[in-house]
């Protein structure tokens, strides 16, 4: 994100599958600490399966975006060109480096 997005990017650390607590590898405290150290707006745990914190997570991002950019904000057009929407951002095959994308979990 830091490489391809502008300096005002809003980031929120989201840990999914909080319904599978016995498979937890990172505590929420650790996640919040990491989020704070990286200047994210926070860290949340979600479960798509149980619909836990899904709406709240999107609302948190939307509120922060509105707070930062609002309706009358001036966005530098040069920043928009830094985001690659073609899906060819130089990462190659995401499955090769994201364990979640290559598994059936």
Q: C-alpha distances in angstroms, 36 versus 3, 25, 42, 51, 70? A: 19, 19, 7, 25, 23
- Scored b (16 or more CB within 10 A) or e, 62-73 reads eeeeeeeeeeee
For the segment 16-35, the average pLDDT, to the nearest whole number, is: 95
Strand-strand pairing, 13-15 and 43-45: parallel
- pTM over cut 0.75: no
User: How high is the mean pLDDT of the chain?
Assistant: 80
- The tens digit of pLDDT for each residue in 41-97 reads 999 999 999 999 999 999 999 999 999 888 665 556 555 545 555 555 455 554 554
Q: E-assigned strands of 1-105?
A: 13-15, 43-45
pLDDT at 69: 85
In the chain, pLDDT over 70 holds for what percent of residues? 67
Structure tokens at 101: 């994308």
The CATH number for 13-102, chosen from 3.40.50.300, 3.40.190.150, 3.90.120.10, 1.20.140.10, is 3.40.50.300
């Amino acid at each position: 994100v830091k490489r391809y997005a502008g300096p005002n990017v809003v980031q929120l650390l989201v840990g999914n599958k909080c319904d599978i607590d016995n498979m937890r590898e990172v505590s929420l405290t650790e996640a919040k600490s990491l989020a704070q150290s990286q200047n994210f707006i926070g860290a949340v745990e979600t479960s798509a399966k149980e619909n836990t914190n899904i709406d709240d997570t999107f609302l948190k991002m939307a509120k922060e975006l509105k707070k930062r950019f609002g309706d009358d904000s001036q966005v530098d057009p040069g920043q928009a060109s830094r985001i690659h929407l073609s899906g060819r951002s130089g990462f190659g095959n995401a499955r090769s480096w994201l364990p979640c994308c290559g598994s059936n979990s």
